[in-house]
Amino acid sequence: MNYYNEIKEKLLKSEIYDRVKDYSKDRNKVFVYFETGRLLSEAGKEYGKNIIKQYSEKLMIEVGKKYNERTLRRIRQFYEIFHNQKWSTMWTKLCWSHYREVLSLKDINEIIYYLNECENKNLTQRQLHDLIKNNTYNRLPCITKNKIIKRQELDIKDLIPNPIIIKKTSSNEKFSEYVLKESILNNLDSFLLQLGNGYSYVGNEYKIKIGSSYNYIDLLLFNYKYNCFVIVELKVTELKKEHIGQIEVYMNYIDNNLRRLNQDKTIGIVICRRNNKYVIEYSSDSRIISREYLLI
């Protein structure tokens, strides 16, 4: 079999396709590179490791300079990582630039997580780069990673990392809950993406009346994927039992006054300076979770 001629033909057709069919060129490139990777892998087994260097020298002259040795090795790696994945379940909506971002990762479960995030959240290549740079996968709870390994369905709480990264936007030396909230609001899109899929913003300092007094919810969100309200309370101290009591009251208020019959019960997230696992362990409400924040 003449591997080189077949590789050259596929890449030449891809180059022409890129110039003509803009609407589908990215998806076409993914398929072409997958098949090219297969041929490179087979050629390497038959002719030895140096075959990629030989092919790249000819392809750079006959097809284009971008098909250097590094690019061909990346294309072969793409095939070797994903050849056991069924195309029907692969991320065919993603571009080659998305796949290129994850090729440096060693753990296939980590790769699957990031590609799922790209497809579910319609992330750009730049957003994926930031997700990987912020080490998002390794900040997920262990139970979430186990679910990803077993290909189990994830719920709303599984995807919230710990810690949550917050970019400080104030030069105020005294860091308060107000400053923490303002930092979140100034980077709201980034904050919502960190929490998971399907979040929309309802309001901050959301006013509710309990008895004769008014209370204010730090952040009120709604998750359209899981069809429920989400309350976020911000604390610049260690998690305390009174924080759990406070958010539980707010959650019950939202359930009784805003939640519709077709919606799930409200979820509560306490974002704190330092976690206290015993407070959560002895809390009777499994809808409440706590996460630490990390300022950058």
From the candidate CATH numbers 3.20.20.70, 3.40.50.12780, 2.60.40.3880, 3.40.1350.10, the one assigned to the domain spanning 156-295: 3.40.1350.10
Instruction: Give this prediction's pTM.
Output: 0.81
Task: Please give the pLDDT value at position 281.
Answer: 80
- Bridge partners of 219? 204, 232
CA 79, CA 102: separation in Å to the nearest integer?
13
Task: Please give the pLDDT value at position 13.
Answer: 84
Q: Is the separation of the CB atoms in 12 and 58 below 8 Å?
A: no
Task: Please give the pLDDT value at position 12.
Answer: 87
- Delimit the CATH 3.40.1350.10 region(s) of the chain: 156-295
CA 50, CA 194: separation in Å to the nearest integer?
43
- pLDDT of the chain, 296 residues: tens digit per residue: 689 899 899 888 887 766 655 545 677 888 899 999 999 999 999 999 899 999 999 999 999 999 999 999 999 999 999 888 765 456 667 889 999 999 999 999 999 899 988 888 889 999 999 999 999 999 999 999 999 888 898 899 999 999 999 988 777 667 889 999 999 999 999 999 899 889 999 999 999 999 999 999 999 999 999 999 999 999 999 999 999 999 999 999 999 999 999 999 999 999 999 998 888 888 878 899 999 999 98
